[in-house]
Chain A
């Protein structure tokens, strides 16, 4: 029989279980995750950082404004606030259909605040940071300037768009 100073086997086991649980919790905390929004634009899929997008607006009427470049197709009315719209397909070499029938992603990143035209949302996923890779070396053109990383989703490598870089590119 165990002395009063000796721990019961169940107590030892319970301690071990709790230690393992704490250890797992620590691992979970340390494994940072990143929310990304995967979307269609033209013939390809891309992703935004989830924290950059506030909401998606369907069926938005874009009011054209004269004198603006092609990548700024106009204005939208979001519950009384007037917001600009960026045609990101212009930079990605993905022409938008006419008339535009997709979604507007309301993006906020630092001082940059604008709607961004996309065709459709594919998915919203939480990925471990370890799943984020560097941009593809084969990226060409303006897209290379907008992409900060890649993710693998459904067996496909998808470029992660950095809206901060978009903002820098279109700063007037």
Chain B
């Protein structure tokens, strides 16, 4: 998959007229709030327990390193440009909302390289909390570089 670099993507969004805002799908997993560009998604649906080789749990994809219970699981379908199906199981879908690029913040240089490996490229300060911005295309790219597959074994998930 030819995923753009996260930095390029953000810079492009800022530079192009009419792209001064980003539609973010906000959700939480394991008590941590995340946001992803809604344009990366082709759909989402409540998860009813079906499994599949294309379905990955978000906390495993991002390397939470601890068990996470999914209480209101939703399967996000991520666009891959025709290179196979990729679905990610998230929890607590909140909303899709438009946010000005001006409100987004880059990650501090000290931890940016590590966070980018997990597809986390920025931060949205929101309601006294920090929403971590995740780029599924970048995550797929990093997974491909690392040889793909699941990063962790199944651990304590429950629908």
Interface string of A87-121 (1 = CB under 8 A from B): 00000000000000000000000011110000000
Q: Is B138 an interface residue (CB 8 A)?
A: no
Q: Which candidate, B11-19, B48-56, B106-114, is the interface stretch facing chain A?
A: B106-114
For A61, list chain B residues within 8 Å (CB).
128
Cβ-Cβ contact count across A and B, 8 Å cutoff: 70
Please give the distance in Å from B130's CB to the nearest CB on chain A.
Answer: 4
Residues of B close to A142: CB separation below 8 A: none
Whether, in the assembled complex, B117 has its beta carbon less than 8 Å from a beta carbon of chain A, the answer is: yes
Report the interface size for chain B: residues with CB under 8 A from the other chain. Answer: 25
Most buried by A among B59, B62, B106, B108: B108
Pairwise interchain contact A68-B105, C-beta atoms closer than 8 A: no
Select B125's contact among A72, A77, A112, A113, beta carbons within 8 Å. Answer: A77
Which of B108, B115, B128 touches A113 (beta carbons < 8 Å)? B108
B115 touches A65 (CB 8 A): yes
Residues of A within 8 A of B65 (CB): 66-67
Contact indicator per residue, chain B 72-114, by CB within 8 Å of chain A (1) or not (0): 0000000000000000000000000000000001111111011
Tally chain A residues at the interface, Cβ within 8 Å: 23
Query: Which residue of chain A is the closest to B33 with respect to CB atoms?
Result: A63
Given contact pairs A66-B59, A67-B63, A81-B105, A170 touches B110 in the complex (Cβ within 8 A): yes
Which residues, 61 to 88 on A, are CB-close (under 8 Å) to B? 61, 63-69, 72, 75, 77, 80-84, 86
| B63 and A66 within 8 A (CB) | yes
Complex contact B130–A172 (CB within 8 A)? no
A112 to B108, CA, bound (A): 10
Bound together, the chains give a CA A75 to CA B65 distance in angstroms of 18
The one of A66, A80, A82, A112 that contacts B106, using a Cβ cutoff of 8 Å: A82
Interchain CB contact under 8 A, B110 and A75: no
CA distance A3 to B64 in the complex (A): 93
* Residue from A80, A111, A172 whose CB has the most chain B CB atoms within 10 Å: A172
Q: Are A68 and B114 in contact (CB under 8 A)?
A: yes
Known: A65-B120, A68-B115, A77-B130. A83 touches B108 (CB 8 A): yes
CB pair A82 B113 closer than 8 Å: no
The reply on B118 being an interface residue by CB < 8 A is yes
Q: Which residues of B contact A170 (CB under 8 A)?
A: 110
Q: Is B2 at the interface (CB under 8 A from chain A)?
A: no
CB of B132 within 8 A of chain A? yes
- The residues of A with any CB-CB pair to B shorter than 8 Å are 61, 63-69, 72, 75, 77, 80-84, 86, 111-114, 170, 172
- Having A67-B117, A172-B110, one finds 6 other A-B pairs with CB under 8 Å, namely A64-B32, A66-B65, A67-B118, A81-B105, A82-B130, A112-B110
Could you jot down 29 A-B contacts, CB within 8 Å? A61-B128, A63-B32, A63-B130, A63-B132, A64-B32, A65-B111, A65-B120, A66-B64, A66-B118, A67-B114, A68-B115, A69-B114, A72-B114, A75-B107, A75-B130, A82-B105, A82-B125, A83-B108, A84-B107, A84-B108, A84-B109, A84-B111, A111-B109, A113-B109, A114-B108, A114-B110, A172-B110, A172-B113, A172-B114
